[in-house]
Amino acid sequence: MASDPTGRNTRLSLTIAHAELASWLRDSAYPLWSTHGMDLVRGGFHERLTMEGQPLAEARRARVQPRQAYAFAMAPALGWKGDAAHAVTHALDFFFAKYRRPDGFFFTLADPEGAALDERVVLYDQAFALLALAESQRVLGPRPDYVKEAAGLRTLIYRYFKRSNFGFDTGLPGRLPLLSNPHMHLFEASLAWLAIDDDPAWRMLADEIASLALRNFVDPVSGALRETFDAQWRPFAGTAGQIVEPGHQFEWAWLLLRWSERGHPPARSVALRLIEVGEQHGVRRGVAINSLLDDFSVKDGTARLWPQTERIKAALIAARLTGEARYWAMADAAVQGFRRFLDTRMTGLWHDRLTLENDFVNEPAPASSFYHIVAAIKELADSVN
């Protein structure tokens, strides 16, 4: 950083990386996942593709369908000229037709035909339904039916998931431990709706979750965000309550910095501390690793793809808001780590897991990662253009 105090050279590097990643998306990833990744017979998107680009006939998590809708909703803004609207509706039509329960919630797992394999309801899946309903309107245009659908699902979440003190249960029926992660995605969905809908209930939801994060999820001493909690939102007993995930430090920081711009400036310092925790303690071998303990010792030093994307997003928004060269440098380093995961035999796929020996696990590419990848490249596009 001493040789680049303004971050100018780093931003040039990021501009070049953006051009290459945008081309990868436009020319390889979107075409591949809109053909091989899309089930043209039964509907929806496949759960995974082999490293040869072939779909697997396996169970499909509910979250994959709205995540793919999100990914393709961003496609026109990222330069893809294909039929993004068709891909979005293809995902959502299958999701609404196959995963909806009679009570209005969405169950968590189906077979390739759409028959229920696990009818449980988890908050995580409902959050992604809300996110897709908001972001899909980027390509479908204003959809009053989606506004009504989202408001109805939000009402159900408050009615059945809301806890008597703060926050929400993780699933139905409620059980321990309570988790910060589904709150994060509900927060993300709320922010997406705030950008397009003046319903004050979205602001109330976003504010409640952000306040819970600042008050209970983030440790007041270390500044790190925990994963699991007891019924009073205290760290859960044992090792589970000590886990700190670098990827979630970055992801929460990205969201809290966005929330801070909406009139909540105190969240900014908390978010920047989360970035510091993730970067100083959770980056090894040039990549963000999976998990630490709350003393910042390594719990799981292997690395999945998704924390690399969240590191990019957090660094870029911090760089834009602060103007500090160190965050541009962090973003550049994060992009370099991320790009290692895209070095596959067939362009347009990705590796998901990197071992301690710096070898990628030979396994199919999960469709669910596309949401993370697209969000990171979108943040990069917004930062360099």
Average pLDDT over residues 340-349: 97
- Per the domain annotation, does 321 fall within a domain? yes
229 found inside a domain: yes
Domain holding 25: CATH number?
A: 1.50.10.10
How many domains are contained in the chain? 1
Is residue 2 a part of any domain in this protein?
no
**pLDDT tens digit string along 204-257?**
999 999 999 999 999 999 999 999 999 999 999 999 999 999 999 999 999 999
1 within some domain: no
Kindly state the helix (H) or strand (E) to which residue 379 belongs, with its residue range. helix 369-384
- How far is 108 from 121, CA to CA, in rounded Å? 6
Task: Return the pLDDT at 1.
Answer: 40
DSSP character for 42? Answer: T
Q: Nearest Cα to 365, choosing from 350, 344, 353, 380? A: 350
Predicted pLDDT at 3: 65
- Domain range for 306: 8-384
Q: pTM value?
A: 0.97
Give bridge partners of residue 365 from the DSSP assignment.
Answer: 49
Q: By 3-state DSSP, what share of the chain in percent is helix, strand and coil, each rounded to 5?
A: 55, 10, 35
Q: Read off the pLDDT band of 165 (50, 70, 90).
A: confident
Domain annotation covers residue 244: yes
* Average pLDDT rounded to a whole number, residues 163-169: 94
Q: Establish if 164 belongs to a structural domain.
A: yes
377 assigned to some structural domain: yes
Q: What is the mean pLDDT of the chain?
A: 97
Query: Per-residue pLDDT tens for 138-157?
Result: 999 999 999 999 999 999 99
| Within-domain flag for 3 | no
**Cα diameter, the chain:** 61
pLDDT in tens, 293-340: 999 999 999 999 999 999 999 999 999 999 999 999 999 999 999 999
Tokens of 150: 């989202």
The predicted-structure confidence for 170-207, as pLDDT tens digits, reads as follows 999 999 999 999 999 999 999 999 999 999 999 999 99
